[in-house]
Amino acid sequence: MNFLRKYPWNAVTVNRPVLSINETEPFRAVYRVYPKKGEMLFDVHYGLEIGIIVRGKMHRYYQDWETRLGPGGVWLCGMWEPHGFKILDAPCDVLAFIFWPPALAAMKFKELPNLDWITPFIVPPSLRPVPTPQTRSQILAVARRAIRTIERGGPYAQARYRLLLMEILLLLGEGWSAPAQRDYPRGDSFSRINRALQLVFQSRRVITAQTAAKSCGLCRNTFGKLFHNLMGISFPQFGLRYRLHGAALELRQSAAPLKAVAHHWGFTDTSHLHRCFQAHYGCSPVGYRREASQSRK
């Protein structure tokens, strides 16, 4: 089932904060209570995401898979992976971590040198790790500690988020192994393509796969295969999704003309932006901006 066909994509129906992540603040956490049954949100973002249902029930959607989650249920989202939810039982309390992928790839345990944090986020959604009956209560306890950290804040919050995230992933990873159908890259492969990612983030223009491969010291074919295996999408798709995400934020946060937004984010003209936006978000840029404006009233 492709939820883009079944449901209208609308990334502004829930007033969700935009979480900025970067090298200096790689981990963010948000705690939300959704009070209404039937509330929906569809979203896409660069950061990896892991969420926990603390109370209530939620239906989670990916492009070709869906599942229902109750208390102690966990979801994972990859980079630029379209996903969404519908509240089934309200109030529904959720805790979500959004984090900078290089920070996750860099986390190491000397005691577990082969531990790979990245693969659970890039395997197909139906094959990602889920809590066992034994770990569900433990994950809920970690979630409650994370909520207290959010409420407390302070200079140690980032360090606490890192530790709590590692604890959740360790609980999920016990007894789980990546499916063997595909040669999944190790997390440290991320460093091989990091320069290409930086090219995308430092420019709002189209970066060709050839330019990206050269920046990483790889031939185009090797780079393309490594990037797709690690990210789950091709490099051109990654760059397009990044520019669309930036255009969507500008549409929400400014009154700039559509022509200017298209130019700012490397689209040839407004019709080019319209076609790409419609295909990705399921609505026009004008409709997206109008919905965002109405949601703020």
Per-residue pLDDT of the chain (297 residues; tens, 9 = 90+): 444 445 544 443 333 334 567 767 888 899 999 999 999 888 777 789 999 999 999 999 987 899 999 999 999 998 777 788 999 999 999 999 998 877 787 777 888 877 878 888 878 899 999 999 989 999 999 999 999 999 999 989 989 999 999 999 999 998 898 777 555 555 445 567 777 877 887 788 899 999 999 988 889 999 998 888 777 779 998 889 888 888 988 898 889 999 999 999 999 999 999 999 988 878 899 988 888 777 655
Q: What's the rounded Cα separation, in Å, for the pair 235 and 118?
A: 18
CB 190 within 8 A of CB 102: yes
Pair 35, 140 in one domain? yes
For residue 113, with 0-12 CB atoms within 10 Å meaning exposed, 13-18 middle and 19 or more buried, which class applies?
exposed
DSSP assigned state of 267: -
Count structural domains, the chain: 2
List of residues 6+ apart from 87 with CB closer than 8 A: 34, 36, 37, 38, 39, 40, 56, 57, 58, 59
Pair 199, 265 in one domain? yes
Task: Look at the alpha carbons of 274, 203, 15, 292 in this order and tell me if their dihedral is positive or negative.
Answer: negative
Pair 203, 151 in one domain? no
Residue 82 lies in a domain: yes
**Final residue in a domain of this structure, among 150, 173, 196:** 173
Pair 17, 154 in one domain? yes
Range 144-166 burial, b when 16+ CB lie within 10 A, else e:
eebbebeeeeeeebbebbbbbbe
Residue 257 lies in a domain: yes
**Widest CA span in the chain:** 55
pTM (2 d.p.)? 0.69
Residue 56 lies in a domain: yes
Domain that holds residue 138: 3-173
